[in-house]
Amino acid sequence: MATTRTSPGRAADEQLLAVLDEWQVAIVANDADRIGAYMADEWVMVSENGITTAERFLALVRAGELTHSAMERVGEPRIRYHGALALLTTRVTNTAHYRGVRFDADEWTSDAFVHTDGRWRCVLTQITATK
């Protein structure tokens, strides 16, 4: 069984948060290739709408059907490590447009990141609206 650690250290936390922040910048840039670089091939997002695969999410971005104009972490994140797996939970506000309809969201997100080949990649994102 893997050892659970609250944190292997501040530097590891800062590295993981930098990855999340860079991923959010890529999402606001609506750059599907950059967004995909932060996702493992098996990445899925779970929300009130069900399960969305990386392939589907990136296809929507490439087609311009899903765009983001703002995304920001709010408050203090919670990070837990289980060997090469990191669970990062934080609150995020964002503005998205889906097929021309604007959505302003305030959500809790839980991301499961795996550290392989010297980098963090997300394998799962769970989104829960705050309202």
| CATH tag for 4-129 (out of 3.40.640.10, 3.40.50.150, 3.40.50.80, 3.10.450.50) | 3.10.450.50
- The DSSP symbol for 130 reads -
Q: Where do the domains of the chain lie?
A: 4-129
> Rounded CA gap, 112 and 18, in Å?
15
Which conformational region is residue 26 in: left (phi greater than 0), alpha (psi within -120 to 50 degrees), or beta? alpha
Confidence band for 51, pLDDT divided at 50, 70 and 90: very high
Residues forming beta bridges with residue 86, ordered by sequence position? 81, 113
Per-residue pLDDT reduced to its tens digit, 90-131 = 999 999 999 999 999 999 999 999 999 999 999 999 999 997
The pLDDT of residue 2: 46
Per-residue pLDDT reduced to its tens digit, 34-50 = 999 999 999 999 999 99
The pLDDT of residue 3: 45
The pLDDT of residue 7: 59
> Rounded CA gap, 25 and 19, in Å?
10
**Mean pLDDT (whole number) for 16-40:** 97
**Mean pLDDT (whole number) for 58-81:** 96
Q: How far is CA 45 from the centre of its chain?
A: 9
Percent of the chain whose predicted confidence (pLDDT) is above 70? 94
The pLDDT of residue 11: 86
The pLDDT of residue 105: 96
Q: Which residue has the higher pLDDT, 50 or 9?
A: 50
The pLDDT of residue 79: 96
